[in-house]
Amino acid sequence: MKSAIIVFPGTNREKDMQMALEYVSGQTPSLVWHKDTSLPDCDLMVLPGGFSYGDYLRCGAMAAHSPIMKEVIERAKKGTRLLAVCNGFQMLVETGLVPGALLHNQSLKFICKQVHLRAENTQTDFTRRFAKGQVLQVPIAHGEGNYFVNDDMLKSLQDNNQIAFRYCDENGQTTTDSNPNGSIYNIAGVFNDSKTIMGMMPHPEDSVVTHANGHQGIPLFQSIVEALA
């Protein structure tokens, strides 16, 4: 599986992502600078975490207009798989490839902690190695991860099985207390309608390699490798 991680000025979790993908797939992803206008051939594109352009404007808003993004959007529309994590997810919603917006955390503070997620739709290229309802523990690290959509859109996400992960407690209960940032319906990650694009706030890439903080992010990357091999 060939993968390409897009690097923006201010991106800072590209190495974490590279390490995780390499660990699971055995192949080193290429890092693509945002000013490039052509992407290498790849099966998976990744928008990684960080603070692109300092997040001085709305998070992800500037990066969504970087030169490389035109190509990323075009390929994604044609079906090349796209994984967008944290700041990448913020860019993704800015492009409109998935619905919704990411608001300030309810606490108005940056939060870095371990959270539990429940895999909701496990029939996708990103989640097929999870059992439905499986609970995984991964960290979050963000200030603006409070996912919001209106009621109609929420219903449509539910009807189309577009919800990837929801915040829950360790027993899989999607309680208010287990929701770290105020996201609507405890949503931590979503798909586009054809499930070829996934955006999520938590960092599965920081829960993969042996020395990292738990290994429960591994099935996510195994799913991708299995699907795209």
Which residues participate in catalysis according to the annotation?
86, 203, 205
Select 191 or 221, whichever has its Cβ closest to other proteins: 221
Half-sphere exposure of 101 (CA within 13 A, CB side): 6
Compute the distance between CA of residue 44 and CA of residue 4 in angstroms, rounded to an integer: 6
172 binds other proteins (CB under 8 A): no
**Position 113 contacts other proteins (CB under 8 A):** yes
Q: Is residue 144 a contact point for other proteins (CB under 8 A)? A: no
Least distance CB 56 / other proteins (angstroms)? 7
Whether residue 50 contacts residue 10, with contact meaning beta carbons closer than 8 Å, is answered with yes
Give the SS3 label for residue 45.
strand
Q: Which residue in the set 20, 21, 91, 157 belongs to the binding site for other proteins (CB under 8 A)? A: 20
Query: Alpha-carbon distance 99 to 150, whole Å?
Result: 10
Alpha helices in the chain (DSSP H): 14-25, 67-78, 87-95, 151-159, 218-228
**Candidate residues 58, 71, 75, 114; the one interacting with other proteins per rule CB under 8 A:** 114
CB count, 10 Å around CB of 177? 8
Q: Does 48 sit near other proteins (CB under 8 A)?
A: no
Contact predicate 60/97, CB 8 Å: no
List 139, 202, 204, 219, residue binding other proteins (CB under 8 A): 139
Q: Does residue 211 bind other proteins (CB under 8 A)?
A: yes
Q: Is residue 111 near other proteins by the rule CB under 8 A?
A: yes
Residue 130 CB neighbours (<10 A): 24
Amino acid at the residue 204: P
Q: Is residue 106 part of the contact set for other proteins (CB under 8 A)? A: no
Q: Which is nearer to other proteins, 17 or 197 (CB)?
A: 17
Least separation in angstroms between residue 222's CB and other proteins is 18
Does 227 participate in binding other proteins (rule CB under 8 A)? Answer: no
d(CA 216, CA 144): 23
The residue (of 186 and 216) whose beta carbon lies closer to other proteins is 216
Output the smallest distance, CB 114 to other proteins, in A: 6
Q: How far apart are CA 165 and CA 156, in angstroms?
A: 16
State the Cα–Cα distance between residues 83 and 199, nearest whole angstrom: 6
Q: Which residues make up the interface to other proteins (CB under 8 A)?
A: 9-10, 12-13, 15-16, 19-20, 35, 49-51, 53-56, 109-114, 139, 141, 143, 203, 205-206, 209, 211-214
